[in-house]
Homo-oligomer: A and B are copies of this chain.
Amino acid sequence: MTHNTKDYGNLMRERGFRVTPQRQLILDVICASGNHTTPEAIYKRVQAKFPSVNLATIYRNLDFLCELRLVVATQIGRKMYYEIAGESPHHHLVCRNCNKIEQIDHTNMKTLFNKVEREQDFTVDMDHITLFGLCAKCRQKTRRV
């Protein structure tokens, strides 16, 4: 959850990108916000500290940070949500019925990724996947199709 600005900064600079105050602030805000933050919410929190930041800058940086994989984008329903990527890969199970979110760790995913790599020569490289389905409770309740 805590993020080290210096590391992120170096990561960017090493790749020829620049560390601007706007960019830092946007990353800070995403980091400080809980999971699943909308662009609009990020915009407002950024503006509270630095009112001149333009909405276009927010969107461009969300794209940028996702591309660097410092930030993860998730689409739920019609909306996009952003959250800090964090250290270790982990994945979510979202119940279609009650929307409860469980986590699964990377090991089972990794097994799948390895299999895909062996069989199709494609290196899957994702550390935040969202799988939808039914949790134990809802599976029992929803026992009629």
Interface check A20, CB cutoff 8 A: no
Asked if B93 contacts A122 (CB within 8 A), the reply is yes
Interface check A41, CB cutoff 8 A: no
Copies of this chain in the oligomer:
2
Interface check A75, CB cutoff 8 A: yes
Binding site for B on A (CB under 8 A): 63, 75, 78, 93, 95-96, 102, 104, 108-109, 111-113, 115-116, 119-126, 129, 131-136, 139
Q: What's the least CB distance linking A135 to chain B, in Å? A: 6
Q: Is the interface of A mostly helix, strand, loop or mixed?
A: mixed
Complex Cα spacing A95 to B126, Å: 11
Q: What's the least CB distance linking A110 to chain B, in Å? A: 10
Complex Cα spacing A102 to B57, Å: 33
Asked if B133 contacts A124 (CB within 8 A), the reply is yes
A111 to B, closest residue via Cβ: B112
